[in-house]
């Protein structure tokens, strides 16, 4: 039931965001920083522009970090000391959740009761903290899983260990406790219901967005000059964390297949890999370089560290096609960013990627991870200028259907629904103001 559409309700004044294992201040593309970091930064800053104060709690990973840092006007990042500053992976963090929760609760205790209006937790570790904070503060808990253990375990890459049972159990608990669950796509919302027993009435689909002011079509030749790439090169790009889940090896194997078909392509081919080791990839930080040497394509490989700002835009614009071969993606922000820059995407037909990529209109979806089928798809775009131009136009059009402003407004509406239901449940009467309805949010963007 969409309670926000029935009568006047009060939107939240102050939101507590929880991101235990990764800080929104970190550069996406390495370590544990990725699409979730982008999601938190973009939605938090846009909520702040709407007059909502946002505070993000994350674990301190260095003694040099200040207790509080300003991410943007109206958005604070609070660094909570919980365990050693360095050397803790995600699987080590459950042992530090009590310390982290204590830090969050102590911060709130310095204020008058009712300081936060809603808690929004990101990833299951944060959901465990949010569950306790919700009960202590008497406010609703909204939870975004971002990835799900049962889904990941059903589509593991070769050599990738399964997610531990402690995570599966933890996700079950958070799903049972949350007042609202956010799915990035209708498929993820269905997975929450079917695999975790979530209440469909409390499960909301809110698609992520893309920064349409930053990621725009531009001069490909200029982007290539900035990266030292020849203007007539055939550029296949990968952007993301280097780990088995993201499957950058699929791109390398496909490139080797292309060169076996047409050895003359070697003089023009550039395989551009942008990102850093993450997760299980940390154990073998040079695995892609070694694979490139084994496949005989080391001469066409180029590696860049994680990029931000104009550097990332240049990577997208320089590419003829961006490959997203992941074994699982809850959505795939890289695909949206590339398409917003006018670059077609070839992506695996998994998770949320069929939503992020419009098959045969903004890119191509591949139903597997075989080198031959990926080589076919990449060649159909990168080596066919006419087809690439058609997909480029469709990519820009498709990306415009998504924006972080729409995502932020949908989240605020979800917070309001949850707060209204919570108030009704505990018998509180909240002061109200008329709800502002945004005319630019298309019908069906929010599914309840």
Q: Is 246 annotated as ligand-binding?
A: yes
Residue 27 is assigned to a ligand binding site: yes
Distance CA 240, CA 278 (A): 9
Tell me if 28 is assigned to a ligand binding site: yes
Residue 125 C-alpha from the chain's centroid: 16
Enumerate residues 6+ apart whose C-beta is below 8 A from 85.
Answer: 60, 61, 62, 63
Rounded CA-CA distance 274/108 in Å is 40
33 is in an annotated binding site: yes
The C-alpha atoms of residue 12 and residue 273 are separated, in whole angstroms, by 41
- The rounded distance, in Å, linking the Cα atoms of 3 and 262 is 60
Q: How large is the C-alpha radius of gyration of the chain? A: 22
**Residue 316 marked as a ligand binder:** yes
Instruction: Annotate 218-234 with DSSP letters as a single string.
Output: --HHHHHHHHT--TT-E
Known binder of ligand: residue 319?
yes
Query: In a 3-state reduction of DSSP, which class is residue 431?
Result: coil
Is 387 part of any known ligand binding site? no
Task: Flag whether 149 is marked binding.
Answer: no
Q: Is 243 annotated as a binding residue?
A: no
Is residue 128 marked as binding?
no
CA dihedral 130, 136, 140, 146 (to 10 degrees): 0
337 known member of a binding site? yes
Q: Tokens 């009590």 belong to which residue? A: 98
Distances (CA, A) of 293 to 286, 382, 390: 11, 23, 35
Q: Per the annotation, does 152 bind a ligand?
A: no
32 labelled binding-site residue: yes
Known binding residue 343? Answer is yes
373 carries a ligand binding annotation: no
Would you call 144 helix, strand, or coil by DSSP? Answer: strand
Q: Is 35 annotated as a binding residue?
A: yes
First to last CA, the chain: 7
> Is 385 annotated as a binding-site member?
no
Q: What is the DSSP letter of 401?
A: T
The token pair that represents 272 in the structure block? 């551009």
Q: Is there a binding annotation on residue 448?
A: no
Closest CA to 80 of 98, 104, 106: 104
Q: Determine the Cα–Cα distance for residues 133 and 170; give it in Å rounded to an integer.
A: 16
Which residues have a Cβ under 8 Å from the Cβ of 238 and sit 6 or more positions away?
A: 246, 248, 251, 271, 272, 273, 274, 275, 322, 323, 324, 325
Q: Which residues are annotated as a binding site for Mg(2+)?
A: 316-317, 319, 343
Q: Which residues are annotated as a binding site for 1D-myo-inositol 3-phosphate?
A: 21, 32-37, 90, 123, 147, 167
Q: Which residues are annotated as a binding site?
A: 21, 27-28, 32-37, 90, 123, 147, 167, 241, 246, 307, 316-317, 319, 329, 337, 343
Q: Which residues are annotated as a binding site for UDP-N-acetyl-alpha-D-glucosamine?
A: 27-28, 35, 241, 246, 307, 329, 337
């Amino acid at each position: 039931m969409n309670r926000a559409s029935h009568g006047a309700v009060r939107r939240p004044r102050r939101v507590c965001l929880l991101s235990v294992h990764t800080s929104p201040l970190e550069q996406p593309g390495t370590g544990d920083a990725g699409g979730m970091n982008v999601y938190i930064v973009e939605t938090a800053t846009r909520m702040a522009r709407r007059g909502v104060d946002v505070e993000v709690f994350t674990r301190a990973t260095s003694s040099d970090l200040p207790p509080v840092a300003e991410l943007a006007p109206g958005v604070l990042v609070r660094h909570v000391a919980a365990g050693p500053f360095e050397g803790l992976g995600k699987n080590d963090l459950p042992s530090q959740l009590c310390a982290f929760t204590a830090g969050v609760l102590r911060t709130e205790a310095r204020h008058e009761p009712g300081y936060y209006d809603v808690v929004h937790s990101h990833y299951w570790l944060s959901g465990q903290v949010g569950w306790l904070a919700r009960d202590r503060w008497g406010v609703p808990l909204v939870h975004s899983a971002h990835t799900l253990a049962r889904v990941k375990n059903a589509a593991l890459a070769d050599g990738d260990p399964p997610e531990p049972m402690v995570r599966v159990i933890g996700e079950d608990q958070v799903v049972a406790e949350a007042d609202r669950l956010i799915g990035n796509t209708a498929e993820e919302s269905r997975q929450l219901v079917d695999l975790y027993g979530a209440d469909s009435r409390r499960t909301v689909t809110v698609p992520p967005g893309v920064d349409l002011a930053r990621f725009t079509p531009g001069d490909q030749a200029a982007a290539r000059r900035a990266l030292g790439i020849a203007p007539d090169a055939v550029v296949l790009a990968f952007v993301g964390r280097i780990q088995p889940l993201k499957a950058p090896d699929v791109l390398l194997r496909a490139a080797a297949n292309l060169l076996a078909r047409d050895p003359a392509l070697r003089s023009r081919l550039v395989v551009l890999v942008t990102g850093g080791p993450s997760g299980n990839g940390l154990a073998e930080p040079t695995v892609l370089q070694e694979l490139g040497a084994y496949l005989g394509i080391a001469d066409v490989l180029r590696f860049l560290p994680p990029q931000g700002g104009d550097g990332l835009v240049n990577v997208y614009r320089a590419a003829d096609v961006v490959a997203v071969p992941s074994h699982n993606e809850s959505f795939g922000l890289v695909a949206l960013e590339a398409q917003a820059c006018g670059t077609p995407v070839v992506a695996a037909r998994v998770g949320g990627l069929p939503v992020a990529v419009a098959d045969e209109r903004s890119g191509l979806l591949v139903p597997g991870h075989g080198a031959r089928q990926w080589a076919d798809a990449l060649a159909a775009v990168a080596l066919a200028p006419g087809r690439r131009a058609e997909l480029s136009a469709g990519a820009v059009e498709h990306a415009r259907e998504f924006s972080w402003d729409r995502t932020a407004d949908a989240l605020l509406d979800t917070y309001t629904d949850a707060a209204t239901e919570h108030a009704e449940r505990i018998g509180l009467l909240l002061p109200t103001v008329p709800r502002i309805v945004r005319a630019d949010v298309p019908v069906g963007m929010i599914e309840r």
